[in-house]
């Protein structure tokens, strides 16, 4: 072979090798990237070429698929009671993608999950169309309904948990939205989406998981836990060293109590919780110091950026750097302390579960189209938040608060209830209407089947003198607890 021909042969061989390498790169290394690329319309078209699997609540689907005419997409997603369940399901849209359970389980629901390989192979040989799997949730439909209806047109959130397992029984956020109205790709869907984006009340924000708020006096549960765990006090019924009025350290500012007639001077931890005495819990926090307070808060889940339900909640924060006055304010759930409603119910559930915090979750099982389970969730301990002895003492305090103090709106006849209210101040000189909180648990002979946290933002729709955790949020927590207790019978 002469030299020019040899050079051409070598060059041609290199070109062929380069083509093979590129084909390998595209076909294997970058296959998934290209398949899922936002500009790949063929993948989108295939995803909506058949009915999607369903999200299940109480044994029944709360999602579905309907045929679409005059579109490249054969099917689109529909949601039953969409606004009520949107914080759980998220949305599935031909145009705007997926969120929450719809996103996290997209491959299973669309039928492309590797765990469906055997089913898909059989279907291929039998000529059956590909089918997605189902996501079975832990949501109690009656508790969810009570939470959503209780919130009504208010801005707020409700989360209910089964303390012994971590099952999320209710997850509501209002105002809400219907994911069905923008599930397609028409102009009407685009108009619905744009309208939601412009809504100043932010209906698409999941307030239960994705927003943090000052927890107010509900945080006094953690302050009490810190006082007991670190040996500041041991008897919840003994007097504390708590002047009233009490001036915060390094300041000339008095930390006021909500009621000037409440018996807060040197009140016991128990009495101080019943009347929500700021002087007692603010001083406890200042005396313990920021490090001991933060250590206790973190055992309940604060400062953990990876709380997955499986939808990830934003991080609840107990600040690492605070001066002494800020530490005092943190003990009553103010200063820079911020928490999701999920975090606050986790705190409540840990106390109800004798100090053990279970990891919250809302997917019980995923299954194939043939209803055979593919994966089942096993309850998991997240932390030992406090000792059983400390938890029992705080239960005593919360139950006395429900029976004799500010938690009375949560009482249920014939049932032991523990409760705590919270009113969280906001803005400079409290210029913004305060948040209303209520936490509670119901207890039966075999333990506590439910713990609840309710948060309401009254905006400017309610006179300030009518804003209270017990008045606004307490009745909702009671209805959610009653719904769970009824379903247990």
Any idea which residues carry the catalytic annotation?
217
Phi and psi angles of residue 63, each rounded to the nearest 5 degrees, phi first: -135, 170
Is 196 exposed, middle or buried, given 0-12, 13-18 or 19+ CB atoms closer than 10 A? middle
Pairing of β 134-137 and β 55-57:
parallel
Instruction: For the chain, give the number of residues.
Output: 489
Name residues whose C-beta falls within 8 Å of residue 134's C-beta, 6 or more positions apart in sequence.
53, 54, 55, 56, 61, 109, 366, 367, 368, 369, 371
Q: What angle do CA 248, 251, 253 make, to 5 degrees?
A: 65
Name residues whose C-beta falls within 8 Å of residue 430's C-beta, 6 or more positions apart in sequence.
none
Q: How far is it, in rounded angstroms, from Cα 430 to Cα 83?
A: 32
Q: Which residues pair with 67 in a beta bridge?
A: 75
Name residues whose C-beta falls within 8 Å of residue 250's C-beta, 6 or more positions apart in sequence.
323, 324, 325
Look at residues 459, 482, 481 and name the one whose alpha carbon lies nearest to residue 472: 459
Q: How far is it, in rounded angstroms, from Cα 147 to Cα 158?
A: 6
Name residues whose C-beta falls within 8 Å of residue 62's C-beta, 6 or more positions apart in sequence.
54, 55, 56, 79, 80, 81, 85, 89
């Amino acid at each position: 072979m002469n030299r020019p021909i040899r050079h051409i042969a070598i060059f041609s061989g290199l070109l062929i090798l380069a083509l093979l390498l590129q084909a390998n790169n595209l076909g294997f290394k970058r296959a998934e990237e290209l398949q899922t690329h936002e500009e790949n319309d063929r993948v989108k078209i295939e995803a909506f070429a058949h009915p999607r699997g369903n999200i299940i609540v109480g044994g029944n689907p709360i999602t579905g698929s309907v045929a679409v005419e005059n579109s490249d997409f054969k099917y689109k997603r529909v949601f039953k009671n969409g606004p009520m369940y949107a914080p759980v399901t998220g949305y599935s849209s031909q145009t705007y993608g997926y969120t929450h359970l719809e996103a996290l389980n997209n491959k299973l629901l669309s039928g492309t999950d590797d765990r469906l390989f055997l089913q898909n192979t059989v279907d291929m040989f039998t000529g059956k169309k590909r089918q997605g799997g189902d996501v079975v949730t832990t949501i109690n439909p009656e508790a969810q309904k009570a939470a959503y209806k209780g919130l009504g047109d208010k801005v707020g959130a409700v989360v209910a948990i089964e303390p012994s397992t971590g099952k999320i029984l209710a997850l509501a956020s209002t105002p809400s939205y219907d994911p069905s109205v923008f599930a397609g790709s028409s102009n009407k869907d685009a108009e619905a989406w744009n309208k939601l984006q412009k809504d100043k009340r932010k209906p698409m924000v999941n307030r239960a998981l994705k927003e943090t708020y000052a927890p107010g006096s509900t945080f006094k549960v953690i302050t009490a836990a810190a006082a007991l765990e670190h040996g500041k006090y041991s008897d919840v019924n003994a007097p504390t060293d708590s002047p009233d009025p009490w001036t915060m350290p390094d300041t000339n500012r008095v930390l006021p109590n909500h009621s000037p007639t409440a018996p807060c001077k040197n009140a016991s931890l128990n009495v101080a919780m019943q009347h929500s005495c700021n002087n007692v819990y603010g001083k406890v926090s200042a005396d313990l110091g920021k490090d001991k307070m933060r250590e206790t808060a973190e055992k309940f889940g604060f400062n953990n950026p990876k709380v997955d339900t499986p939808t990830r909640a934003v991080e609840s924060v107990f600040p690492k750097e605070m001066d002494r006055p800020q530490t005092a304010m943190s003990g009553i759930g103010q200063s820079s302390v911020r928490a999701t409603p999920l975090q606050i119910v986790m705190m409540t559930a840990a106390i109800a579960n004798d100090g053990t915090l279970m990891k919250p979750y809302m997917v019980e099982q995923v299954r194939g189209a043939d209803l055979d389970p593919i994966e089942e969730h096993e309850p998991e301990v997240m932390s030992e938040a406090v000792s059983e002895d400390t938890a029992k003492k705080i239960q005593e305090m919360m139950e006395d608060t429900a029976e004799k103090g500010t938690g009375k709106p949560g009482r249920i006849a014939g049932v032991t209830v523990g409760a705590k209210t919270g009113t969280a101040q906001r803005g400079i000189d409290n210029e913004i209407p305060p948040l209303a909180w209520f936490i509670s648990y119901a207890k039966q002979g075999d333990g506590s089947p439910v713990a609840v946290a309710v948060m309401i933002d009254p905006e400017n729709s309610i006179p300030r003198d009518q804003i209270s955790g017990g008045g606004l949020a307490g009745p909702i927590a009671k209805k959610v607890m009653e719904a769970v207790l009824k379903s247990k019978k």
